[in-house]
Chains A and B, each alone.
Chain A
Amino acid sequence: DSGVTQTPKHLITATGQRVTLRCSPRSGDLSVYWYQQSLDQGLQFLIQYYNGEERAKGNILERFSAQQFPDLHSELNLSSLELGDSALYFCASSVGLAGGRYNEQFFGPGTRLTVL
C-alpha cells in the first residue's frame, strides 16, 4: 500500500459525459501528479500540482482539467468524453516539488475509466 488513495476504482460512462476522479496523496506530500495509461499511448504524464499550484504540464487535453485543494487532495475532471479516453488514470504524490535524491513518487492503484 503506497498510501495514495484514488476513487472510484472503476468508472463506466458514455461518450459526451463528464467525470471527476479523486486522489488523496500520502500524508505530508505536497506534490500530486496525474498520469494516463492506455494500450495505444502507453503511460503519459498529464499534470503536476504542488501545494495547490500547477507546476508542470504534459500531454493533457483541453477537455481535461485538474486542481489541488487546500487539504492537498486533487481532482481530475474529464469532459466531453470520447471512446479514446478509456484508460487507467494514476495519481502519484511526492514530498517535494521536483526531483532529487530523496524525492520519490508514490503511485495510487488507479481509476479504470471505460467510455462506451
Chain B
Amino acid sequence: GNSVTQMEGPVTLSEEAFLTINCTYTATGYPSLFWYVQYPGEGLQLLLKATKADDKGSNKGFEATYRKETTSFHLEKGSVQVSDSAVYFCALSENTGGFKTIFGAGTRLFVKA
C-alpha cells in the first residue's frame, strides 16, 4: 500500500541555519503531498501542499517540490527561527471517492537561539 517515509529526528539547528527534512513516498496513483506542522499541545496545521508533479508548495519561508521521478517531497527553509521549533509531518492523500491521508512518522525540530 501507499506509505510515507521521513527522516528521523530530532533535528537540532541554530537560529538562521538551513533546514532540510527529507520525505519520500510510495504511491500507486497520483497523490497530493503535504507538510503539516504540530506545535506543542496543538493540533496539526497545514504548512504547504502540492497536488501534481513539479508543483512547488511554499509558505512562511518553507518550500517543497513534488518530485515524481525521485518520489520525494523534501521540506526546506533557508533560515530557521526559534519559533519554527515543532514537529513536522509529511503526508500524502489519495482521492478514493473519499480522501484518505497517510502520514509519515514526524520529525521533531529544535531551533536554538
Q: Which residues of A contact B (CB under 8 A)?
A: 2, 4, 31, 33, 35, 42-45, 48, 50, 54-58, 90, 92, 94, 97-101, 103-110
Contacts and interface: CB of A to CB of B under 8 A. Distances in A.
Contact of A98 (B99, B104, B105): B99
A43 B95 CA distance: 19
B96 interface: yes
Q: Is the interface of B mostly helix, strand, loop or mixed?
A: strand
B98 A104 contact: no
A39 to B, nearest CB: 10
Chain A interface, >50% SS class: strand
Contacts of A105: 46, 101
Nearest to A42: B105
Contacts of B42: 109
